[in-house]
Structure 1
Amino acid sequence: MALEAKSSLKRVVSRPEVKKFPFFHPFSRRLHICLLCMAGFCCTTFMRMHIAITMTCMINSTALVYESESAIVDNSSSIFEEVELVSNGACSANNDNHKKVVVDYGGQLVWNSQEQNLIFSGTFWGSIITVLPSMFFINRYSPRYVLQAAVGCYILMTAITPYIATHFGPYPVFISRVIMGLGEGFILPANNAILANWFPSAERSTAISLFTTGNQMAGAGGNPVAASLCASSFGWPSIFYFASIVSTIWSVCWFLTASNQPSKCKVMTKTEKEYLEANVVRRSNKTNRSLVVPYSKILKSPAFLAQLLCQFVINSIVTLLQIYLPNYFKDVLHLGVIANGTYTSVPNIVNFALKIFWGIAIDKAKEKKKISGTFAVKLSQSIANFGGAIFMILITFYVDCTNPQLGFFFFCMMYCCMGTLVSGFYTSLLSLAPKYTATMSSISVFCAMLGRLSTPAIVGLIKKNNTLSEWQTLFLVCAGANIVCGAVFLIFGSGELQEWGEEDQEKEMKPFGEKTPLSSIQNLPADSEDVDVFQSALDIDIPQIQLNEITLTTEERQRFQRRIREDSMCL
């Protein structure tokens, strides 16, 4: 009987090696999911951000112009516009002639700058309300449907904005933007939960890099589209309708094709499904409503706290660059309008290219076991923080209005360094505990929003008159924050699954073939004829046992017990 049991044991545990299914493949389902997430992120970013350029078409600029003298500046094809050095050592742009630039696209709404700023801030106030509660919804319900509902909120508010703006004024528009922001609080946590379910650790840097390019796509492609529609006979309302229609198409595709995890996907190759089941640590969605989140362990984890610091610092710096950098180029470097647009857009293209290249390269290195997950995230974060700090210091001491081209080069290099960010702290976030990704993402996004909120306050404290010395102080503060952030992450950061984030063997079964630490029954006598020896070993409640050269996980032990019962019935 014991010999037959041993034979059954070998039949149960012997299985062919799981074959890897490539990420970049026409039939790769996880690639399709990542592209869907990227497209959705692009849609939501465009619906949220296009208001900045659309507002110029909505507003009657001439009615709001300042009392100072103004001039309309013709378009220029020159990327690096000429500047001249006057007798007192100051610089001035030839085209602007020290006059305020006013561009009027024939808008009919008369909203002052305070009302416009209120509208711009609406989505932020909405998202800060829902970002923390979002983790409870995502832990208890399907992230797929949570994301669908959030995007639906975006679409509805975007579609009705033109009517509200023309009939009710700026404050109802602000309320609609706040409601849109309520959906924004769910976007990143839901996407993070889905990506954590679909991608092995070795592919997450690539997946995150690809997913977050939706942000750059919305800016690089969305702004020209918005400007074209604005200048067309359809006018500025068509921008809102266009964004709503495109996002609705995405929403239908998402509803019909997306799934929370590979095991729920019905259209997928068998090879890829087996590969993902063997290599992805899953988190529970919807089915585990009694999930107990170890908040104390999460909030005391040095790796998670280091990631939170990165969220705060990086979002503060990115907000400074996105919102205030055009003012620096205009008021400090004295660039004309066309050069200003070029100087602010090209670095983002550099960032986009480096982000994709670095994400793929770092995942290849992890896949070939050349570097560990922790080394990968620390290297990526160090390049972003320390590299960014170096170029900020160079900008501080070597750039003024006499050499804007040098500043352009330094900014491109700084953005290039920042292209490694998603392979650093962002990948760390998805790697620490996939089971609690939604919870940790919500906390992280909340810290990111606090970082964005802190930027205007810091800028207001330092920048009073928009002078070169004030901007030099700002850049030095950012460089110092980068250095501190990079040092902390270098010491405490991690790209590995944390002990408190491991799956609970009693409640949730690990993916097929996943190893757990041996805890240990070893070297039972190979010549034993006593079946009780095997049965006793199988009955002991430990994660894994070893019978001579054969190792059994909990799942395999259960299968083996069933096989013994079947063999016994045949005798």
Structure 2
Amino acid sequence: MRHVIVLLLFLSTTVSYATRVSMSMTIIGMTKENNYGYPVFDWSQSIRDTILSSFFWGYIVLQIPAGMLTGRFGGRMLILVSMAVTGILNLFVPFAATKGDWQAVCGCRILMGLFQGLLYPSLHGLLGKWAPVSERGRMGTIVYSGSQLGTIIEMIVAGVLSESQWGWPSVYYLAGASCIAWSVLWFIFGASTPSTSTWITKEEMKYIESNTGPTDANEQKNMSVPWKGIWTSLPFWSILLAHCGQSLGFWTLLTEMPSYMDKVLKVDIKSSGLLSALPYVAMYLLSFIFSWTAEFLINRNITSLATSRKIFNTIAFWGPAASLLALSYIPAGHIPLAVAMLCITVGLNGAHYVGFLISHIDLSPNFASTLMGITNGFGNIFSIMAPLSVSAVVRDETSADDWRKVFFISIAFYFLSNLFFILFMSGNVQDWNEPKPKTNIEDGVKAVEKRRKEKETGEHKF
């Protein structure tokens, strides 16, 4: 049953990322003339970047509350609401664009981001309960690699559909229907923990619970979040900064790559979709190689958990930084070489699944969803900055020199955030992960102290 849950969570990231990426590709088709009579919008680059960033305005709002709610009540209903509402909003986007122009589209994207803000903290909480330690890296990679598959599918499909007789509205209809179909499957098979699943065997439930963490669902509901322990933990800060660096670098490429292909490399929309998807094919495939290698190193005691996380996070951050630097100096017109460097940049970034992204669970299985809510919330402030920074830096959309400045910003964030991660990340469960139970001795001391104070104040009654 844990494999069924992981498959469904993998599909959730696949479908949810497809809905995020749909706008990055489809906005090109929405602003170009077509042969089938679909509406064309006269949106400037500034408006397009505002639309692309609007998703994250809503996305950051519910990250921390979602993490806390997942920790207390489980992630089943939160993830269901997230995906169902995302589906409905996608179905509404074409109508909103036609009737309310870009402002209405921004409204839909903000709401979509708001509800998708429930998703990742819920995923982390569910993995913390369903993934045995020996399978955690593999399962985490499978689940989160769905984001790359969704990106690949959407970049290809969105480009083709936008140029077809079905037009750009069909991109949103397909994405919305996929979200709703997934929600039906999750309603039937989903569960927050093994103990609340109606489909699991007793043998598997015992195996999972003995290999995931010490706290059961009922006990966890009475655990308060150790805020002081979290915010004074350098290993947590290393994850937080890594998440911020990843968000800026990754989303700069994801949201702006189609425009870069179109304006600088002069690639048509169909080819742009295919070429833009290639780097994410590389990332998707390499993520499984990185995952297998990381588990091999850890399970064979070749490296410690912390060392493995640092090695693969370095591959995920400093590798793309170096290849982006090379990409920024490739002469204009060398499309195959530019695409190859983009494939290296994005492909190596797939190592972050067994780097910082799974480290929340390493530090605190009990509060992994809360930690993910915090880091994902702060990280997505930088996701908002990604398309907006392009508007601020790029004056001439066809200038390779202007785009080079965008790449330099990503390089700096990749380098510095990973340096902090290397210095301060830990693979050990933190002391604040476990609640401190009140012992009988402590209760007795408090009772004696209370009686003494009552006697001194004359309130003690015999």
Distance 1:174 1:462, change over 3 A: closer
**1:260-296, Cα deviation, whole Å (9 max, x unpaired):** 1222223234443232122111556576444211111
Structure 1 pair 461/164, CA: closer, same or farther in 2 (3 Å)?
closer
2:318 aligned counterpart, secondary structure: helix
1:112 aligns with 2:43: yes
Q: Does structure 1 residue 127 correspond to structure 2 residue 99? A: no
Counterpart of 1:181 in structure 2 is 113
Out of 368, 371, 376, the position equivalent to 1:440 is 371
TM-score, normalisation: structure 1:
0.69
Structure 2 residue matching 1:106: 3-state secondary structure: coil
- Distance in 2 separating the partners of 1:434 and 1:320: 31
Answer yes or no: is the 8 Å Cα contact 1:384–1:421 preserved in 2.
yes
Q: In structure 2, what is the Cα distance between the partners aligned to 1:57 and 1:475? A: 25
Alpha-carbon shift at residue 494 of structure 1 (Å): 2.1
Say yes or no: does 1:375 pair with 2:307: yes
1:50 maps to 22
Task: Read off the aligned partner of 1:45 and give its amino acid letter.
Answer: Y
Change (3 A) 1:221 1:283: farther
1:211 corresponding residue in structure 2 = 143
Distance in 2 separating the partners of 1:349 and 1:439: 31
- Contact 1:197 1:283 survives alignment (8 Å): no
Structure 1 vs Structure 2: percent identity of aligned residues? 23
Change (3 A) 1:169 1:385: closer
Flag structure 1 segments of 5+ consecutive residues without an equivalent: 1-28, 63-102, 508-538, 542-571
**Deviation readout 1:500-541 (Å, 9 max, x if unpaired):** 21355569xxxxxxxxxxxxxxxxxxxxxxxxxxxxxxx999
Which residue in 2 is equivalent to 1:137?
69
* Pair 396,170 (structure 1): closer, same or farther in 2 beyond 3 Å: closer
1:345–1:131: structure 2 CA closer, same or farther, 3 Å change rule? Answer: same
Give 1:304 shift: 0.7
How much does 1:51 deviate? 3.3
TM-aligned CA deviation for residue 375 of structure 1 = 1.3
State the Cα distance separating 1:406 from its structure 2 match.
3.4
Partner of 1:454: 385
The answer to whether the 8 Å contact 1:378/1:494 transfers is: no
TM-superposed deviation, 1:323: 2.7
- Name the aligned partner's letter for residue 309 of structure 1: L
Name the CA distance, whole Å, in 2 between partners of 1:229 and 1:468.
29
The separation in 2 between residues aligned to 1:109 and 1:393, in whole angstroms, is 36
Match of residue 198 from structure 1: 130
Kindly name which structure, 1 or 2, has the bigger radius of gyration based on alpha carbons.
1
* Cross-structure match for 2:357: 426
Q: 1:56–1:105: 8 Å Cα contact kept in structure 2?
A: no
Secondary structure of 1:420's match?
helix
Deviation at 1:498, TM superposition (A): 1.4
Match of 2:344 in 1: 413
Residue among 84, 107, 110 paired with 1:152: 84
Aligned equivalent of 2:232, options 280, 300, 303 = 300
Matches of 1:158 and 1:192, distance apart in 2:
25
Q: Do the aligned partners of residues 485 and 234 (structure 1) sit closer, same or farther apart at CA in structure 2, a change above 3 Å counting?
A: closer
Q: 1:32 Cα shift?
A: 1.1
Which position in structure 2 is the counterpart of 1:13?
none
Q: What does the per-residue CA deviation read over 1:37-96, in whole Å, with 9 as the maximum and x for residues that have no partner?
A: 11112222223332344445555x34xxxxxxxxxxxxxxxxxxxxxxxxxxxxxxxxxx
In 2: Cα distance, 1:112 partner to 1:324 partner: 15
Asked if structure 2 preserves the Cα contact closer than 8 Å seen for 1:194 and 1:260, the reply is yes
In the TM superposition, what are the counterparts of 1:354-369 in structure 2 within 5 Å? 354-369=286-301
AA of the residue aligned to 1:435? N
Cα distance in 2 for partners of 1:324, 1:225 equals: 17
- TM-score w.r.t. length of structure 2: 0.84
State how far apart, in whole Å, the 1-side matches of 2:14 and 2:100 are: 29
- 1:468: Cα distance to partner? 3.7
CA distance in 2, matches of 1:194, 1:160: 30
Which structure features the higher share of helix residues? Answer: 2
Deviations 1:547-569, CA, capped at 9 Å, x for gaps: xxxxxxxxxxxxxxxxxxxxxxx
Of residues 466-475 and 260-269 in structure 1, the stretch that sits farther from structure 2 once superposed is: 466-475
User: Is the Cα contact below 8 Å between 1:123 and 1:184 reproduced in 2?
Assistant: no
Runs of at least 5 residues in structure 2 that lack an aligned partner in the other structure: 443-462
Secondary structure in 1 matching 2:64: coil
How far apart, CA to CA, are the structure 1 residues paired with 2:30 and 2:409? 37
Deviation at 1:332, TM superposition (A): 4.8
Q: Is the 8 A contact 1:332 1:400 kept in 2?
A: no
| Residues 50 and 388 in structure 2, CA contact (< 8 A), matched pair in contact too | no
The AA in structure 2 aligned to 1:352 is Y
In structure 1, the partner of 2:248 is 316
- The structure with higher relative contact order (CA 8 Å, sep 6+) is 2
Distance 1:159 1:363, change over 3 A: same
